[in-house]
Copies of this chain bind each other. A is one copy, B any other.
Amino acid sequence: MDLHVNNILKDLEKDDIQAYLITQFTNVEYISKYKPTSFAFCIIKENPIIYVSEMDMELAVRDSTINVKQYESYDVMIQELKKEGIENLAIEPALPYSTYAKFKDDFEISSQTYIDKQRMIKTDSEIEKITKATEIAQKSFLQLDILNNKSTEKAVAFDLVRHMIENGASRESFDTIVTSGPNSSLPHAIPQAKKLGRPVLIDWGAIFEGYCSDNTRTVVYSESQQEIWDIVAEAHDKTVKAIRPGLKCCEVDKVARDIIAEYGYGDKYIHSTGHSLGLDIHETPVFSSRDETIIEKGMVITVEPGIYLEGKFGVRLEDTVAISKKADVIGDLPLKID
């Protein structure tokens, strides 16, 4: 049986839990290689199974590494579990309340993060896919020739996605952000149908074989913009250097936050320092002031300090690092675009 399934079975045994219900698409994909398209109920137990809709049977049977069965109704699933003697059931934390409600009267239920914890530690093959996604994304960014680009934000975003797909990505890993001028102070700005202003902030990523990449570059033009850029770059570089296994995630966040605060911009750093990624663009753990997770080898996390001056402009610089004995930046795109 698959390594991931085996590890989760061990977790279940330790906690005396008989089965683990998983429905989030990327969790099901992680466990079975089958990527659901409508819905899926994956139940990890001694003999794991995925219930899928009639319409997905052909695809699921073709792709899944674990057994597939056609979903008929909640009642049928519940009766089949009971027949196997299953009395307690763990669920994903993200399970919709309405699904939980279908099972809660028939089983003792606990919310468990086994799958999230498994997904925190990437295998070499997962890191290779993230690296390939990053290489595709960075190569595509360079094709934009952003310094001489006279298009609109929207057109640049579209060109970037086109380059990524032409270079082998299956799609963008999230809505591409191309923002410029005062709008760049919105961390999640939407590209507008207006010509690129200054500075230009681009936050983008590709998906390769299911795995995401994530980078941000900000191209600045004036002295005041460069001053902010230098602070963010210092925070970026020193944070990457500080990361090592054994440290807590919140301690990494503090490194970036302290540097920006020293320059007097503490209240302009309005988000966390980074998030893990993999099959999803946002995974756990995160470099936030509240996340006490201990950093381990195999984690893949972004480092993305920023300073946002409302009404003026924003600067963010983001790389993704893979944790070995230290933090190895994935990809080789310079911070400074020139």
Q: Which of A's residues lie within 8 Å of B, judged by CB?
A: 37-38, 53-59, 91-98, 100-101, 111, 154, 158, 162, 165, 171, 175, 185-189, 270-271, 308, 310
Number of copies: 2
For A306, give the chain B residue with the smallest CB separation.
B55
Residue among B38, B97, B111, B308 making CB contact with A188, cutoff 8 Å? B38
20 contacts between A and B (CB under 8 A): A54-B270, A55-B187, A55-B188, A55-B270, A55-B271, A55-B308, A56-B187, A57-B270, A58-B186, A59-B186, A59-B189, A91-B97, A92-B97, A93-B96, A94-B98, A97-B97, A97-B100, A98-B111, A154-B165, A162-B162
Q: Which of A162, A165, A187 has the most chain B CB atoms closer than 10 A to its own CB?
A: A187
How many whole Å from A337's CB to the nearest CB in chain B? Answer: 24
Q: A54 to chain B: which residues have CB within 8 Å?
A: 270-271
Q: How far is the CA of A58 from the CA of B92 in the complex (A)?
A: 33
Q: A310 to chain B: which residues have CB within 8 Å?
A: 58
Residue among B94, B185, B187, B270 making CB contact with A97, cutoff 8 Å? B94
Cβ of A56 and Cβ of B188 under 8 Å apart?
A: yes
For A165, give the chain B residue with the smallest CB separation.
B158
Q: How far is the CA of A53 from the CA of B53 in the complex (A)?
A: 37
Top 4 A-B pairs ranked by shortest CB distance?
A: A37-B188, A93-B98, A55-B271, A54-B270
Given contacts A162-B162, A271-B53, contact A58 B185 (CB under 8 A): yes
